[in-house]
């Protein structure tokens, strides 16, 4: 498959998602979710398609996409590790844990390890404030995260 065919396939798949949801009330967020579910991220090339399909400006679509931290503009690693950055988690040692994870993985937030294994993302509340600090690895939440838990999570993500 050549690059032109691949781009056409992405556009066709994205257009199908847009067409299936554009008649909904407030369709932009569901469309962005649908596209990210389909591709694992929201390709920049589909933003003009969304804007056109919803009669919005590209700036409006881009603004919404970049406002919400859950949308990615590039593919994630095989594993996604999210660390809670909300106040309760920070007050219970979340900053030190975040620094430990960054050092163990050799990356910062919004980055992926060079081997494509792990993407590290901040999240602004996992709803486990009473069990702070909290983290999520591939959709599974962890409360009362400590150094040992971090080491286990990083080891699991590196497998």
Q: Does residue 72 lie in a domain region?
A: no
- 18 pLDDT tier (thresholds 50, 70, 90): very high
Measured CA to CA, the distance from residue 93 to residue 33 in angstroms comes to: 32
86 and 153 in a common domain:
yes
pLDDT in tens, 57-93: 999 999 999 998 789 999 999 999 999 999 999 999 9
CATH (domain of 97): 3.40.30.10
Q: Does residue 73 lie in a domain region?
A: no
**Structural domain harbouring 99:** 79-158
133 and 87 in a common domain:
yes
Question: Mean per-residue pLDDT for 48-61?
Answer: 97
pTM: 0.80
Q: Is 5 exposed, middle or buried (CB count within 10 Å of its CB: 0-12, 13-18, 19+)?
A: exposed
142 and 83 in a common domain:
yes
Q: Residue 38 has which token pair?
A: 């389909």
Identify the domain boundary among 14, 34, 67. Answer: 67
Identify the domain boundary among 16, 38, 67. Answer: 67
* Distance of alpha carbon 31 from the chain centroid: 15
Q: Does residue 129 lie in a domain region?
A: yes
- 110 pLDDT tier (thresholds 50, 70, 90): very high
Q: Does residue 74 lie in a domain region?
A: no
The pLDDT score that the predictor gives to residue 8 is: 78
Structural domain count, the chain: 2
* Distance of alpha carbon 65 from the chain centroid: 11
Q: Is the dihedral of CA 8, 14, 20, 24 positive or negative?
A: negative
18 and 44 in a common domain:
yes
**In percent, how much of the chain has pLDDT > 70?**
96
94 and 23 in a common domain:
no
* Average pLDDT, rounded, for the chain: 93
The pLDDT score that the predictor gives to residue 159 is: 82
Measured CA to CA, the distance from residue 2 to residue 149 in angstroms comes to: 44
Q: Higher-confidence residue: 1 or 120?
A: 120
Q: Does residue 135 lie in a domain region?
A: yes
83 and 63 in a common domain:
no
The pLDDT score that the predictor gives to residue 5 is: 54
The pLDDT score that the predictor gives to residue 158 is: 82
Measured CA to CA, the distance from residue 74 to residue 93 in angstroms comes to: 30
Report whether 2 contacts 15 (CB < 8 A): no
152 and 86 in a common domain:
yes
Measured CA to CA, the distance from residue 18 to residue 111 in angstroms comes to: 28
Q: Residue 34 has which token pair?
A: 């649908």
């Amino acid at each position: 498959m050549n690059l032109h065919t691949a781009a056409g396939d992405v556009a066709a798949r994205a257009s199908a998602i847009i067409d299936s949801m554009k008649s909904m009330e407030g369709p932009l967020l569901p469309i962005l979710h649908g596209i990210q579910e389909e591709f694992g991220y929201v390709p920049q090339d589909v933003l003009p398609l969304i804007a056109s399909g919803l009669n919005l400006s590209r700036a409006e679509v881009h603004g919404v996409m970049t406002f919400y931290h859950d949308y990615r503009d590039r593919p994630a690693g095989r594993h996604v590790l999210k660390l809670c950055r909300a106040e309760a988690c920070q007050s219970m040692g979340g900053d030190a844990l975040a620094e430990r994870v960054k050092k163990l993985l050799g990356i910062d937030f919004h980055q992926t390890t060079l081997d494509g294994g792990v993407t590290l993302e901040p999240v602004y509340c996992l709803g486990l404030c009473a069990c702070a600090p909290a983290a999520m690895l591939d959709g599974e939440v962890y409360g009362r995260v400590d150094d040992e838990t971090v080491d286990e999570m990083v080891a699991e993500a590196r497998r």
